[in-house]
Amino acid sequence: MVSHYPGRLIVIEGLDRAGKSTQCSRLFRTLEQNGRNVEMIKFPDRGTPMGQIIDKYLTDNTMNLSDQAIHLLFSANRWEQVPHIIDKLKKGTVLIVDRYMYSGIAFSAAKGLDFNWCKSPDVGLPEPDLVIFLDVSIETASKRGGYGEERYENAEIQSRVRSQFLKLKESNWLWIDANKSLDEVEAEVNNEVQKVLNNSTQNR
């Protein structure tokens, strides 16, 4: 799965507190030090008007939105970045994406929405060149910083979300045991990303 653009789209997915944002930052630093043209994108992007509604939904349990409405907002929050993503891919940028459509589908399907319905709004988004899934146990995650502060951050929901990710998993995903140390996970991420970039025709 290598896109026709000179850039590359690397997605890091995973359960809550699996270390996605930390590994995205580490990968960004490594690629930047290697002279790559690299950028990080995070979903939800809480900085846009739509992202601000999502942020309120996640942090304020008294905010009521139907499951369908919030699902579509998460998807729209990705679609609003598509022109930027395509522009960067055309310019040969390596985009590191912290959560993508897979989180959108897994979280909403875990709430009971129809799996195929959940997939539809994201159909047509730029396809990743690599999906890395950080798999952490609920026990490990619950001991990590910040766990439990937002909606969805409890063991029962996380376990249902993991089952949905297993349904989405494709043979070419890199599935990493994220209970390991930060350095061990980073080494596995770097190794696989390097393989994808070695196939790359992008200008450095």
When CB distances are held under 5 to 8 angstroms depending on the partner's kind, the choice from ligand Z5A, Mg ion, none that residue 63 binds is: none
Part of the chain binding Mg ion (CB under 5 A), chosen from 12-20, 58-66, 71-79, 187-195: 12-20
Q: Give the residue at shortest CB distance from ligand Z5A.
A: 19
142 binds Mg ion (CB under 5 A): no
How crowded is residue 173: how many other Cβ atoms within 10 Å of its Cβ? 17
Nearest approach in angstroms of CB 20 to Mg ion is 5
- Return d(Cα 67, Cα 128) in angstroms, integer: 26
Interface region with Mg ion, contact rule CB under 5 A, candidates 15-23, 103-111, 137-145, 175-183? 15-23
Of residues 16-75, which lie at the interface with Mg ion (CB under 5 A)? 20-21
The H or E element containing residue 77 is helix 67-79
Which one, 156 or 170, has the nearer CB to ligand Z5A? Answer: 156
Residues 6+ apart with CB under 8 A from 20: 12, 13, 14, 98, 99, 134
Answer with the entry of Mg ion, ligand Z5A, none that 142 interacts with (C-beta below 5 to 8 A by kind): none
- Residue 72, Ramachandran bin (φ over 0: left; ψ between -120 and 50: alpha; else beta): alpha
User: Which one, of 185, 202, 180, 176, lies nearest residue 34 by Cα?
Assistant: 202
In this complex, which beta carbon is closest to ligand Z5A, that of residue 74 or of residue 165?
A: 74
Residues that bind ligand Z5A (CB under 6 A): 14, 16-22, 43-44, 58, 74, 99, 103-104, 107, 144-145, 150, 152-153, 178, 181-182, 185
Query: Is residue 137 part of the contact set for Mg ion (CB under 5 A)?
Result: no
Residue 162 CA to residue 168 CA, distance in Å, equals 10
3-state DSSP call for residue 171?
coil
Residues that bind Mg ion (CB under 5 A): 20-21
